[in-house]
């Protein structure tokens, strides 16, 4: 993608504060961090959605993300970290190049996720799980 800001970062056309790089992924500091050290892990190859990232690359993103999270805890004195990937604008994805956020967290960092909690009505959870499992099984047969 010629106009993708993350592709330009990977190519070195836009500067970044690189944390990690290998043949599949590139990790760099977020320019608008939730907490200092907030890092993005991206596939070097352009993918808008996590659904199109090859398994090896996706696995590497999460392995490196976890390693970065541990480094953030140890080197920057954080207590925990979040791994967050938004897939699509409705999920909050702003840059249309798949990316994994590694967000260092402290008990009193003042950042709160605003997650709501719904309750399944009778039988709805089983129906939902069955539909998802059926879709996964069909996709596995096609692969």
| Residue 44 contacts residue 23 (beta carbons within 8 Å) | yes
Pick the catalytic residue: 38, 47, 97, 99? 99
Q: What angle do CA 19, 17, 46 make, to 5 degrees?
A: 75
| Residue 64 contacts residue 18 (beta carbons within 8 Å) | no
Task: Report d(CA 83, CA 6) in Å as an integer.
Answer: 19
The reply to whether 99 belongs to the active site is: yes
| Residue (of 22, 30, 110) closest to 60 by Cα position | 22
* Residues identified as active-site: 99
């Amino acid at each position: 993608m010629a106009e993708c800001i993350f592709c330009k970062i990977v190519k070195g056309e836009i500067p970044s504060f690189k944390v990690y790089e290998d043949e599949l992924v590139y990790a760099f500091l977020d320019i608008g961090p939730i907490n200092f050290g907030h890092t993005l892990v991206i596939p070097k190859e352009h993918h808008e959605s996590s659904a199109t990232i090859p398994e090896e690359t996706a696995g590497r993103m999460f392995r490196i993300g976890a390693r970065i999270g541990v480094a953030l805890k140890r080197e920057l004195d954080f207590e925990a970290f979040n791994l967050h990937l938004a897939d699509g604008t409705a999920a909050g994805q702003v840059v249309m190049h798949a990316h994994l956020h590694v967000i260092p967290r402290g008990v009193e960092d003042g950042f709160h996720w605003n997650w709501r909690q719904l309750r399944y009505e009778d039988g709805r959870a089983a129906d939902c799980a069955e539909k998802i499992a059926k879709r996964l099984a069909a996709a596995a047969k096609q692969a």
